[in-house]
Amino acid sequence: MQKTLFRRVRTAVDRVGLLANLRADFAASLVVFLIAVPLSVGIAVASGVPVELGLVTGIVGGLLTGLLPGSSMQVSGPAAGLTVLVYEAVREYGLRALGVLVLTAGLLQVAMGLLKLGRWFRAISVAVVQGMLAGIGIVLIAGQLYALADADAPAGALEKLGGLVTLLTDTLASADSLAALAVGVGTVAVLVLWPRWQWGARLVPAPLAAVALAMTAVGLLRLPVDRVRVRGLFDAVQPPWSGDFARLTEFGVLGTVLAFALIASAETLFSAAAVDRLHDGPRTDYNKELIAQGAGNTVCGVLGALPMTAVIVRSSANVSAGARTKASRVLHGVWLLVFATLLPWALELIPVAALAGVLVHAGWKLLPGRELGPLWRDHRGEVAVLVTTTVAIVVTNLFEGVIVGLLLAIVKAAWETSHVHIETTTTRDGRVRARVLGNANFLRLPRLLDELDALYRAGDQRAGRGVERGVELDLTGLRHMDRAVHTALSGWAERHGSLRDGDGNGDGEATGRVVAV
């Protein structure tokens, strides 16, 4: 009797908890959906693809990736972090090749997850990631400044930056461009100011409010600005053909696939680490999350859509809105699907300049702000890696810039871990014993050899005053020595290893010898 009563009470409690979770997840899913619409459309426009493909990626991120294990609170979709790379890939290889690129990158992510490589992405230097985001932000802002004025942007990042003066003069000379600029700047202003109105921010997300106000202003004032063009969700889907996979034999295509997979994975797992700090629920399983993202990107590739990552903007909004389970992110995908199929005409009311304003604001948030000052005071080497990565991305491209940043971070780590110094003592017969201590690698070799040469020259000066000269090199205090150091020090000892005795016969002791290695 008591057991039966206990089961009934527990069942009732579970039902109440389930209903409470469902209500919370339902409300959170609506908030995430309202944020996802303008961001998905804006990222698609900035990537140079039909706007529907951004919504397709958001739908897959909700309905498929949202159901898979990994992270419970993260929300996936097209991200601003890959906009620049996608734009360059579409311009270089064509829209037909996008599906192949995304599909192959997704399979690579699945393979990395199955091989349990997810945790290794946490080993990437934070400075490189910050530099990557800053570089993406600069290139994104530079390109969207043209869209703010309904102007065509140049192809390369440097060309975009170099053409800003011409853009300004052309905009000031055109009434239509000034109208578009006013819409875009107004959108940015709403995005900045809206969160300060706490009641309004709780009721309507800032991106939705900004785009809705821009649509209203353009409609009421009948401003001559460009608007989003829609051709239908199913018409935009372009699955890759078998012939498209032949592009994978091209070196540039393989490099783009690798960039998609690595950058999407790194952005996702760094986002997971940030989101885990925002809630008290289950922690992210990095390998399972990598498999889930790979599965989502594989499906997006089959549909010819944009690549997906976990998006920190949507994920943090999901947690802030009170989501409790993964049901919220699945429902957000349902709302995107309903909107894209039943209300596509609503997208044609959105001004392109308003979406550009949303992305300019998103790009600005990618730039390092207040944390740059403390970082400069405490870790100037990290700032050097960050700035170098950023500049390299702007000057070259995203993939090459990240490689440059990673190489510099490795060199910096090797330099900082190779602490080596020389302790000197003078024996009774006047010789100098140089004991090398610490960890020695090739980066410290020039300075090490300079110090040893200085000691030997000092011995020459003492020999001129009648003191026996010589430097005895002792390596027993080295905890680590790479081959370059070993070869160089052995050579130094051989060059300085003979000591002539008083009669000049050259049979003296080899005071430059290596005592122990």
Q: What is the DSSP string of 2-40?
A: HHHHHHHHHHHHHHHHHHHHHHHHHHHHHHHHHHHHHHH
Determine the distance from the C-alpha atom of residue 484 to the mean position of all C-alpha atoms in its chain, rounded to a whole number. 34
Q: Apex CA 185: angle with CA 180 and CA 189, to 5°?
A: 150
Query: How far is CA 126 from each of CA 101, 206, 248, 382, 436, rounded to the nearest angstrom?
Result: 27, 29, 31, 8, 33
pLDDT tens for the chain, 517 residues long, are 555 544 544 444 344 445 667 777 887 787 788 778 777 887 888 888 888 899 999 999 999 998 888 887 888 998 766 887 888 888 888 888 889 999 999 999 999 999 988 777 666 677 777 787 788 788 878 888 888 888 887 767 778 888 888 888 888 888 888 998 999 999 999 988 988 887 777 777 777 788 889 989 988 988 888 887 777 777 778 888 877 787 788 878 888 888 888 888 877 877 777 677 777 777 888 889 899 999 999 999 999 999 998 877 778 777 877 778 888 889 989 988 888 888 778 777 888 888 888 878 877 877 887 777 777 777 777 888 888 888 888 887 766 787 888 888 888 877 777 777 788 887 776 677 788 888 777 777 888 888 888 877 776 555 544 444 567 777 777 777 777 887 887 787 777 653 333 333 333 333 344 443 3
CB neighbours of residue 423 within 10 Å:
11
> Which value, to the nearest 10 degrees, does the dihedral of the CA atoms of residues 31, 35, 40, 45 take?
160
Which pLDDT does position 105 carry in this prediction?
Answer: 93
Strands 76-77 and 309-310, bridge-based pairing = antiparallel
Q: In angstroms, rounded to a whole number, what is the distance separating the alpha carbons of residues 56 and 34?
A: 15
Residue 480 has, within 13 A of its CA and on its CB side, a CA count of 10
Q: In angstroms, rounded to a whole number, what is the distance separating the alpha carbons of residues 258 and 265?
A: 11
Closest alpha carbon to 392 in 381, 383, 401: 401
| Each residue's pLDDT tens digit, 364-396 | 877 887 777 777 777 777 888 888 888 888 887
On whether the CB atoms of residues 50 and 44 are closer than 8 A, the answer is yes
Which pLDDT does position 240 carry in this prediction?
Answer: 85
Query: How far is CA 219 from each of CA 4, 100, 185, 216, 227, rounded to the nearest angstrom?
Result: 64, 40, 17, 5, 11
Residues 6+ positions from 504 with CB-CB distance below 8 Å? none
Residue 140 has, within 13 A of its CA and on its CB side, a CA count of 35
Which pLDDT does position 12 carry in this prediction?
Answer: 41
**The pTM is what?**
0.66
Which pLDDT does position 390 carry in this prediction?
Answer: 87
Tokens 């590739």 label which residue? 301
Which pLDDT does position 408 carry in this prediction?
Answer: 86
Query: How far is CA 135 from each of CA 259, 380, 423, rounded to the nearest angstrom?
Result: 15, 19, 45
Q: In angstroms, rounded to a whole number, what is the distance separating the alpha carbons of residues 452 and 472?
A: 10
On whether the CB atoms of residues 414 and 141 are closer than 8 A, the answer is no
Task: DSSP for 95-161, please give it.
Answer: GGGHHHHHHHHHHHHHHHHHTT-GGGGGGS-HHHHHHHHHHHHHHHHHHHHHHHTT-PPPSSHHHHH
- DSSP-based three-state secondary structure for 435: strand
Residues 6+ positions from 453 with CB-CB distance below 8 Å? none
Helix/strand/coil (H/E/C) assignment for every residue in 158-210: HHHHHCHHHHHHHHHCCHHHHHHHHHHHHHHHHHHHHHHCHHHHHHCCHHHHH
Q: Apex CA 414: angle with CA 411 and CA 415, to 5°?
A: 85
Q: In angstroms, rounded to a whole number, what is the distance separating the alpha carbons of residues 268 and 265?
A: 5
Q: Is the backbone of residue 49 left (phi > 0), alpha (psi -120 to 50) or beta?
A: beta
On whether the CB atoms of residues 144 and 356 are closer than 8 A, the answer is yes
Closest alpha carbon to 138 in 380, 400, 409, 395: 395
| Each residue's pLDDT tens digit, 53-81 | 999 999 999 999 988 888 878 889 987 66
